[in-house]
């Protein structure tokens, strides 16, 4: 029986051709900047994001936190989304690693608005740490995308205040696809941007941090400080190059499958799902059926090869990715329909 793992696109496995590209990679010592494959990936990533420089890092968390560290001083504050990954899911590194106070903006749609920036613009006050950085996220962790007009307005306001701007673009290519824009068009409204080569792009490891040359050089030193110098990392970078060359257009399938899955689930009595919120490869929904039990549903799905996370605050998140097909979506829809019908 095939396993249909809907927990996250982080579970995505690698295509055979990607592994072959890794095995064939030309490598050197990247700490001496002598790994030709890493150098090639970094040049490619800089071009794709329209930034002067880029650096290969081991994870999305590493990219975000190096961006924060390189653009703030100990004791500064940063405006962040209240549900953003870099605030809620990165082990408090913003405070622990950078000594920065996160100031969360809380909106139902998880976007940050010019009004939030306005509301947090105090004059110099000895009691208050100065905000020096705005952190955006696109695509958002709630499966929607931030319109470019909003990013543009936020960026302009941040710049008026002399702040730096970082974009957590872990799923930048998903956002680009959903918005019908290029990654560079999105990254135009940020100073630094991180994106993941893993997740939907299917590399086993790796992210990129791109931005101004001086900031990336600073980040390179901080990366070394935390043991992120990667020697013959070209084997990993080769997977990243393969991902950028061959896996970007494929994300369209994940988005289509997410819409297909959402459409099928939304037709099941008792499922509450907002179809217009399915904008990338994530489907969020609630189940409102008397006698239904989340634990036994998960067990039933697992027994039938479908792996899911428990609901958070009553909300399920199913993620489509490389290896999940339309037929798999049909299987999931059928299983949930059968299970809920048995509870009537």
Q: Select 21 or 175, whichever has its Cβ closest to ligand PLP.
A: 175
Q: Select 241 or 333, whichever has its Cβ closest to ligand PLP.
A: 241
Angle at 139 between CA 135 and CA 142, to 5 degrees: 100
Q: Does 60 participate in binding ligand PLP (rule CB under 6 A)? A: yes
Q: Select 90 or 328, whichever has its Cβ closest to ligand PLP.
A: 90
Q: Does 317 participate in binding ligand PLP (rule CB under 6 A)? A: no
Residues 6+ apart with CB under 8 A from 178: 139, 145, 255, 279, 280
Q: Does 12 participate in binding ligand PLP (rule CB under 6 A)? A: no
Q: Select 51 or 199, whichever has its Cβ closest to ligand PLP.
A: 199
What are the two backbone dihedrals, phi and then psi, of residue 207, each rounded to the nearest 5 degrees?
-140, 175
Q: Does 240 participate in binding ligand PLP (rule CB under 6 A)? A: no
Chain residues 149-208 in contact with ligand PLP, contact rule CB under 6 A: 168, 170, 196, 198, 207
Query: How far is the C-alpha of 182 from the C-alpha of 176, rounded, in Å?
Result: 5
Query: How far is the C-alpha of 287 from the C-alpha of 308, rounded, in Å?
Result: 14
Among 10, 39, 121, 304, binds ligand PLP (CB under 6 A): 10
Q: Select 63 or 264, whichever has its Cβ closest to ligand PLP.
A: 63
Q: Does 234 participate in binding ligand PLP (rule CB under 6 A)? A: no
Query: How far is the C-alpha of 116 from the C-alpha of 119, rounded, in Å?
Result: 5
Query: How far is the C-alpha of 273 from the C-alpha of 296, rounded, in Å?
Result: 21
Q: How far apart are the first and last CA of the chain?
A: 28
Sign of CA dihedral 224, 92, 108, 270: positive
For residue 255, count other CB atoms closer than 10 A to its CB: 19
Instruction: Find how far residue 23's CA is from the centre of its chain.
Output: 27
Q: Select 69 or 85, whichever has its Cβ closest to ligand PLP.
A: 85
Query: Which among 58-66, 172-180, 183-191, 222-230 is the span making contact with ligand PLP, rule CB under 6 A?
Result: 58-66
Binding site for ligand PLP (CB under 6 A): 10, 59-61, 64, 85, 137, 141, 168, 170, 196, 198, 207
């Amino acid at each position: 029986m095939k396993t249909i793992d809907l927990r996250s696109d982080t579970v995505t496995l690698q295509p055979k051709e990607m592994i072959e590209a890794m095995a064939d990679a030309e490598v050197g010592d990247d700490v001496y900047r002598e790994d030709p494959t890493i150098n090639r990936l970094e040049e490619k990533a800089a071009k794709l994001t329209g930034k002067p420089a880029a650096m290969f890092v081991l994870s999305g968390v590493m990219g975000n936190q190096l961006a924060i560290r390189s653009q703030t001083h100990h004791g500064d504050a940063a405006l962040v989304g209240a549900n953003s990954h870099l605030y809620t899911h990165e082990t408090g590194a913003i405070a622990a690693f950078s000594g920065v106070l996160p100031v969360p903006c809380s909106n139902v749609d998880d976007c940050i608005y010019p009004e939030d920036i306005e509301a947090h613009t105090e004059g110099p006050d000895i009691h208050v740490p100065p905000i020096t950085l705005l952190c955006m996220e696109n695509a958002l962790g709630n499966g929607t995308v931030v319109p470019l007009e909003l990013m543009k307005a936020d960026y302009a306001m941040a710049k008026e205040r002399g702040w730096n701007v970082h974009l957590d673009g872990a799923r930048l290519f998903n956002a680009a696809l959903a918005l019908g824009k290029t990654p560079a068009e999105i990254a135009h409204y940020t100073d630094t941007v991180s994106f993941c080569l893993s997740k939907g792009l299917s590399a086993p490891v790796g992210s990129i941090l791109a931005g101004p040359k001086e900031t990336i050089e600073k980040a390179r030193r901080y990366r070394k400080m935390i043991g992120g110098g990667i020697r013959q990392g070209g084997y990993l970078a080769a997977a990243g190059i393969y991902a950028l060359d061959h896996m970007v257009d494929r994300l369209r399938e994940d988005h289509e499958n997410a819409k297909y899955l959402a459409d099928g689930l939304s037709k099941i009595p008792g499922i509450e799902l907002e179809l217009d919120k399915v904008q990338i490869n994530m489907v969020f929904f609630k189940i409102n059926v008397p006698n239904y039990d989340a634990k036994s549903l998960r067990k039933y799905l697992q027994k039938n090869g479908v792996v899911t996370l428990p609901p958070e605050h009553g909300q399920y998140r199913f993620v489509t990715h490389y290896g999940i097909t339309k037929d798999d979506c049909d299987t999931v829809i059928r299983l949930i329909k059968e299970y809920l019908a048995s509870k009537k």
